[in-house]
Amino acid sequence: MPKITMREAISRALWEEMERDSNVFILGEEVGLWGGTYAVTKGFYDHFGADRVRDTPISEAAIVGAAIGSAMTGLRPVAELMTINFAFSAMEHIVNEAAKLHYMFGGQFILPLVIRVVGGGGRQLGATHSQTPDAIFAHFPGLKVVAPGTPEDAKGLLKSAIRIDDPVLFIEHATLYQVRGEVPDDDFNTPIGKSKIQRPGRDVTIVTYSKMLETSTKAAEQLAREGIEVEIVDLRTLRPLDMEPVLESFKKTNRAVIVEEGWRSYGVGSEVATRIYEEAFDYVDAPIQRVAQKEVPLPYNRTLEQMALPQVEDVIRAVKEVL
Amino acid sequence: MADIVTMPKLGFDMAEGTLVRWVISEGEAVKKGAVLAEIETDKATVEVESNFEGILARHLVPEGEVVPVNTPIAVIAAPGEQVEAAKETLPAKAAPESPVEVVAPVVAAKEALPAKGEEKPSAEGVAPITLALPGEEGHLPGGVKASPVARRMAEERGISLGSIQGSGPGGRVTKKDIEAFQISPAPVSAAAMPAAAVSTAPTTAASIPATPTPTTTVPLNRLRAIIGRRMAESKQRVPHFYVTHEYDMAAMMALREQVNQTLPDDEKTSINDYIVKAAALTLRQFPNLNASLDESANQIIQHGSVNIGIAVAVEGGLLTVVCRDADQKPLRQISAEVRVMVQRARAGKVRPNDIEGSTFSVSNMGMYDVEHFIAILNPPEAAILAVGSAREVPVVKEGQIVPGLRMKATISVDHRVSDGAEAARYMQALAQYIEEPIRLLL
């Protein structure tokens, strides 16, 4: 199987879906002539043309609003927002329209819409461009929230996101674009709403997703040298949240650490831990630990930024805490 | 800083305890886990272990004194530490969390339950058994810190959490501790140990040199292992209490003789048949003793049928054969059925139906010249009757000592299901059948 980067995997998913279905089109800032801020849509403009690869004004509200309108009238838009931080400018459209119109109109409309956003910190972009507010979006019923951690999942999940008839917020971590992984060449779909055990182990369950899958895997490799076998469950989708592999793993290990890049309070860890307590209380052997971002606006200074973000050492410490 | 040991709270209703004996004297070194003292509550005498290491600097309570729970009873200091200062800083009221570990006969919170029900019968007439009883640690069940999975595993395996030293933070019992507890060898050799000790002990010059009998090990057969497991579980988990009653057996012995004269040799009745029938008929009046506790549903199941289990000694162990609907069967039928089942049991050809479904048990050791004994409950039954021998004893009748024929029986009862008064009334009612056995034929 060829090893390609996550950037290529996402690019191929878009390309294949646009080739497959002429209703699929891309819109966003610099997605056309420039080839995308993160070069995901490089070459698309020349191949698919200006109608299907549309450069937009710098207005996230306009991008998402136009995507919603075109989805309601039969197209399958893939909107790209340069960062998830800018999605706040389009919050009205995402929360009050994309997530609710199907419901508000009694099912008369479907919204086969994908909003691709680039998330995560760690690249010295300052407090307003480095956030991981994934949990906020996962709060709203009606919106699916997907955040892959491997190139294979990125391709398979994006293809599914484009094909399903629901609005999907697709979060790509900026620091994962260069990560390589094996990705099948064929036309495969990865189901949305299915968590996956990415690494088997018997001692502790780590529940994580996106960039923190990489961090957790490094921690697991170090811990394995000390004889501690960590099982890693990758959520892949935050809404709908699939707890089945998490609970299955937890019932085996009885101990869990939840690793997320966003802030701890009201976060993914809170949700997952609570569900474990609710659904597997009799299997709990130690208080569940959460590893998350320090509760500060993410600093610009490199050292401070890294201190605020969850590191491999933080994961190792948390695992030892629950053991 | 010096550590303060306080009078532990060993049950939700314990208000004070007696310091019976100091095991460690002032000035002696104390290891973590060492027994510091013996204390007595209204339920039991228990040993208290130290959670601290150091020197027992001072006894704050003399032996024999009764003090309220949480009263400081001793100071443990670091070697060389100035103790007077430590004493100055003694809190008037110690922290609610007692720094003492209780070993051995912990008064389980469950034991106190029926008493609670007695004090305050609920309006519905059914004693609620879901009360969250405050334990030593806040409202923890049993007063033991344990993770939920450890709690569940302990319950499944019939292990008392109080008997396990937790290795988790704050002494929390974890899954690992339960697993370690399982793996550690059971004290099987306890019975063999005294013998071994004797055989290895040096004989004194004056004694006759003993021919050493070699110590042998006998592997547990399957039946033995099952009995061991079930009985250990019963004795550890079920709060037993016992009521003994003495019965006048003259009439029953006479009746039996009369009945047996009319029966062929292979159909002659035994005293046990009469007792089974008497026990079964009496249970009809005491449905709560023909019962089982359903812990998961927090309810008592009062069984519709009276199925009497009869303990039978077989090679390598013990089986309980079941005489179904014993309250409704004529004596002769009970006798015949039991005889056949006992034969099958002793021949190793017992059928599942012979040994399943008992709701109450009778264990009779009358044939072994036993004055009386007490039996361990046969789970999930709520009661078992242990029957001794009918013996000729002097009895006082109208101020005169006259020969009498008496038999003692002891009922063991699950205190979670019933209380002493009910058991005593049962034993009294049983007398009506045993002492006027003609009723058994009606």
List the CATH number of the domain containing B261: 3.30.559.10
The answer to whether residues A201 and A220 touch, using CB atoms and an 8 Å cutoff, is yes
Under the banding of pLDDT at 50, 70 and 90, the label for residue B216 is confident
pLDDT computed for residue B1 by the predictor: 65
Taking all residues of chain A, what is their mean pLDDT, rounded to a whole number? 97
Which residue has 């956030």 as its token pair? A131
Query: Chain B partners of A285 at a C-beta cutoff of 8 Å?
Result: 147-150, 174-176
Give the chain A residue whose CA is nearest to the CA of B170. Answer: A286
Same domain, B127 and B152: yes
pLDDT for B166 beyond 80: yes
CB contact, 8 Å: B149 with chain A?
yes
Pairwise CA distance, residues B410 & B433, whole Å: 16
For the stretch A254-270, pLDDT in tens is 999 999 999 999 999 99
Nearest C-alpha in A relative to B169: A286
Distance between B156 CA and the closest CA of chain A, angstroms: 12
**Which of chain B's residues have a Cβ under 8 Å away from the Cβ of A228?**
none
Min mean pLDDT across A45-54, B47-56, B101-110, B400-409 is at B101-110
The model's confidence at residue B209, banded by pLDDT at 50, 70 and 90, is low
**Rounded to a whole number, what is the distance in Å from the CA of B382 to chain A's nearest CA?**
27
Are B149 and B7 within one domain?
no
Number of domains composing chain B: 3
Contacts of B147 in chain A (CB under 8 A): 254, 284-286
CATH number for B87 = 2.40.50.100
Confidence of residue B83 (pLDDT cuts 50, 70, 90): low
Q: Which domain holds residue B273?
A: 239-441
Chain A closest-CA separation from residue B153 CA (Å) = 9
Q: What percent of chain B has pLDDT over 90?
A: 39
- The packing angle between helices B331-346 and B271-285, to 10°, is 120
Tokens of B260: 């047996």
Query: Quick check: is B245 in a domain?
Result: yes
Q: Are both B96 and B131 inside the same structural domain?
A: no
Question: Is the pLDDT assigned to residue B137 strictly greater than 50?
Answer: no
Q: Which of residues 276-305 of A touch B (CB under 8 A)?
A: 281-286
Whether residues B243 and B332 fall in one domain: yes
Under DSSP, is residue B224 helix (H, G, I), strand (E, B) or coil?
Answer: helix
Q: What is the pLDDT of residue B12?
A: 52
Whether residue B391 sits in one domain with residue B310: yes
Q: Do B388 and B265 share a structural domain?
A: yes
The whole-angstrom separation of Cα A53 and Cα A44 is 7
Please give the DSSP secondary-structure letter assigned to residue B340.
H
Q: Residue B373 and residue B408: Cα distance in Å, rounded?
A: 9
B136 plus B35 within the same structural domain: no
Q: Which residues are bridge partners to B16 per DSSP?
A: B68
| Cα angle A234-A6-A87, degrees, rounded to a multiple of 5 | 80
Question: Is B360 in contact with B289 (CB distance < 8 Å)?
Answer: yes
* Closest C-alpha to B355, from B317, B325, B307, B320: B320
Residues B175 and B66 in one domain: no
Q: Where in chain A is the domain with CATH 3.40.50.920?
A: 196-322
Q: Per the CB < 8 Å rule, is B152 touching A254?
A: no
Residue tagged active-site, from A129, A172, A260, A261: A129
Q: What are the residue ranges of CATH 3.40.50.970 in chain A?
A: 3-182
**Of B102, B120, B152, which residue constitutes the final position of a domain?**
B102
Q: Report percent pLDDT > 90 for chain A.
A: 98
| Residues B244-255: tens digit of each pLDDT | 999 999 999 999
Statement: residue A82 has pLDDT above 50? yes
* CATH number of the domain bearing residue B124: 4.10.320.10
pLDDT of residue B207: 58
Cβ neighbours of B151 in A, within 8 Å: 282
Kindly identify which residue of chain B lies nearest to residue A281, measuring between CA atoms.
B148
Distance from C-alpha of A244 to C-alpha of A194, rounded to nearest angstrom: 9
CATH of domain A196-322: 3.40.50.920
**Residue-level pLDDT at B189:** 42
Task: Please check whether residues B98 and B136 belong to one and the same domain.
Answer: no
Asked whether the predicted pLDDT for residue B116 surpasses 70, the reply is: no
Note whether B97 and B176 are same-domain residues: no
Domain boundary among B85, B102, B119: B102
Establish if B148 touches chain A: CB-CB under 8 angstroms: yes
Stretch among A69-83, A280-294, B91-105 having the lowest mean pLDDT: B91-105
CA distance B160 to B150: 11
What's the whole-number mean pLDDT along residues B12-29? 81
Taking CA–CA distances from B178, the nearest residue in chain A reads: A285
Residue A47 has pLDDT above 80, yes or no: yes
Whether residue B123 has pLDDT greater than 50? no
CA dist., res. B170 & res. B73, Å (int): 21
Which amino acid, one-letter code, is at B315? E
Q: Residues A22-37: pLDDT tens digits?
A: 999 999 999 999 999 9
Whole-angstrom distance, CA of residue B185 vs CA of residue B1: 39
Residue B398 domain flag: yes
Q: How far apart are the first and last CA of chain B?
A: 77
Q: Does domain A3-182 have CATH number 3.30.70.3460?
A: no
- Choice among B34-38, B162-166, B219-223 with the minimum mean pLDDT: B219-223
From CA B342, how far away is CA B357, in angstroms rounded?
16
Our CA-based measurement puts residue B170 at a distance from the nearest CA of chain A, in whole angstroms, of 12
- Give the pair of three-digit tokens for residue A248: 């299955």
Residue B189 lies in a domain: no
The residue among B20 and B243 whose pLDDT is bigger is B243
The contacts of residue A221 (CB under 8 Å, 6+ apart) are: none
Would you place residue B10 in the very low, low, confident or very high pLDDT band (cuts 50, 70, 90)?
low
Which residues of chain A lie closer than 8 angstroms to B176, CB-CB? Answer: 285
Average pLDDT over residues B268-283: 95
For the question of residue B415 being annotated catalytic, the response is yes
Asked which of B167, B182, B197 is the last residue of a domain, the reply is B182
Can you tell me the mean pLDDT for B46-74? 85
Confidence of residue B43 (pLDDT cuts 50, 70, 90): low
Could you tell me how many CB contacts below 8 A there are between chain A and chain B?
A: 24
Q: Find residue A205's DSSP bridge partners.
A: A231, A256
A60 noted as active-site residue: yes
Q: So what's the pLDDT on residue B111? A: 37
Query: Higher model confidence: residue B115 or residue B27?
Result: B27
Mean pLDDT of B347-362: 84
B421 within domain boundaries? yes
